[in-house]
Structure 1
Amino acid sequence: MVDTTGTRVSKSGGNVTGIRSESVIQTALENACRIAQVCEEFRGQDTVVLDVTHITPLFDYFVITTGRSRRQLHAIADQSDDVMDQQGSKRRSTAGYETEWICQDYGDVVLHVFSPAAREQYSLEDLWADAIRVEWSNGKTPESDTSGE
Structure 2
Amino acid sequence: MSNNQLVKYVVKAADDKRAEDIITLDMKGVSYIADYFVICEGTNERQVQAIARGIKEEVEKHGGEVKRMEGFEQARWILIDIGDVVCHVFHQEDRHYYNLERLWGDAPIVEIDIEDVEDSQ
Pairwise mapping of residues 1-149 of structure 1 onto structure 2 (< 5 A)? Answer: 27-99=2-74, 100-137=76-113
Are 1:64 and 1:112, in contact at CA under 8 Å, matched by a contact in 2?
Answer: yes
What is the deviation of 1:87?
2.2
Counterpart residue type for residue 65 of structure 2: K
Partners of 1:89 and 1:50 in 2: how far apart? Answer: 20
What do you get for the CA RMSD once the two structures are aligned? Answer: 1.6
Superposed structure 1 runs of 4+ greater than 3 Å apart: none
The percent of aligned pairs where both chains have the same amino acid is 33
Partners of 2:107 and 2:20 in 1: how far apart? Answer: 20
Specify the structure having the higher radius of gyration (Cα): 1
Instruction: Give unpaired runs (5+ residues) of structure 1.
Output: 1-23, 140-149
Q: Scaled by the length of structure 2, what TM-score is found?
A: 0.88
Equivalent pairs counted in the alignment come to 114
Partners of 1:138 and 1:38 in 2: how far apart? Answer: 10
Instruction: Give unpaired runs (5+ residues) of structure 2.
Output: 116-121
Higher helix share: 2
What is the deviation of 1:138?
5.8
